[in-house]
Amino acid sequence: MSRIGILLTQPANPERDSIFGNFADMFKTFLLSADSSLDFRVYNLLAGDWPVNFDECDGWLITGSFHGAYDDIPWIHKLKDLIVELHKAQEKIVGICFGHQIIAEALGGKVIKSEKGWGVGVHSFTVAEKFSWMNPPLQQVSLLYSHQDQVVALPPNAVLIGGDDFCPNRMFAVDNNILVMQGHPEFSVEFEHYLLKGRREILTPELYSVAESSLKKPIDNETIAKWVVNFILQ
């Protein structure tokens, strides 16, 4: 049985978590859709729960967060150091949204709060590079998004898998052990709708309308779950 360590970086929200579960719960459901035999260990980094030994898990996943990868907070600096050590040890690491951003920052890339504003709703990008773990294959990837920050410079040795004009670095890999993406394949459409409603006052009416309408489009969560599991276990 393979065990994935979920590095939880999102503060608890009793109302949200009572309806949808916390981010770790979402990732468990997401990954179990691809492999029902997986086991998990959740590390709540904000509560001081950190890995002691890399042998505790077969791969690592860093969740999304309301924090920024550039924030000057002790646990964020500690997480960057952990990412560097995991990478040196050639441990498999997957980063989603904030996880994608902090991995980029830790390894020499650059993250900023984008002047382009919020990326919300369903967005698609064309796959530019293909790997053996991308099975079943996709020509285009459609996912749910909810972010202001963007990776604007890739770390050394990164291979861009896909992006577009709004978000040039939507998915990339580093060497054979790091896979990251800006999108949220663990989100349900219902949860994205909940987030949009909560941010309605800070989004322009046009952006809110376009994002809400985009939720009718198909998304590739199930296929991306298989990619992630294939990547970690290959």
Under 8 Å between Cβ of 101 and 183:
no
- Cα separation of 233 and 1, whole Å? 11
Query: Which residues contact residue 92 at a Cβ distance below 8 angstroms, ignoring those fewer than 6 apart?
Result: 58, 59, 60, 177, 178, 231, 232
Angle at the Cα of 207 from the Cα atoms of 205 and 209, rounded to 5 degrees: 65
Dump pLDDT digits (tens) for 55-82.
999 999 999 999 999 999 999 999 999 9
For residue 60, give both structure tokens: 């690592």
Under 8 Å between Cβ of 92 and 177:
yes
Kindly give the confidence (pLDDT) of every residue in the chain, 234 residues in length, as a single tens digit, with 9 standing for 90 and above. 799 999 999 988 998 889 999 999 999 999 999 999 999 999 999 999 999 999 999 999 999 999 999 999 999 999 999 999 999 999 999 999 999 999 999 999 999 999 999 999 999 999 999 999 999 999 999 999 999 999 999 999 999 999 999 999 999 999 999 999 999 999 999 999 999 999 999 999 999 999 999 999 999 999 999 999 999 998
Under 8 Å between Cβ of 152 and 110:
yes
What pTM value is reported for the model?
A: 0.96
Under 8 Å between Cβ of 50 and 78:
yes
Amino acid at 88: K
List, in sequence order, the alpha helices (H) in the chain.
14-20, 23-32, 74-88, 98-106, 189-198, 205-214, 221-233
Bridge pairing between strands 158-162 and 171-174: antiparallel
Question: Which residue range is the domain that position 54 belongs to?
Answer: 3-233
Amino acid at 139: Q
Under 8 Å between Cβ of 4 and 57:
yes
- Cα separation of 112 and 9, whole Å? 18
Domain count within the chain: 1
pLDDT of residue 12: 87
pLDDT of residue 137: 98
For residue 137, give both structure tokens: 């294959």
- Cα separation of 85 and 15, whole Å? 35
pLDDT of residue 183: 98
pLDDT of residue 27: 97
Bridge pairing between strands 93-96 and 110-113: unpaired
CATH of the domain at 168: 3.40.50.880
Please return the burial class of 207, using the count of CB atoms within 10 Å of its CB with bins 0-12, 13-18 and 19+.
middle
**Residues listed for the chain:** 234
Beta bridge mates, 122 = 144
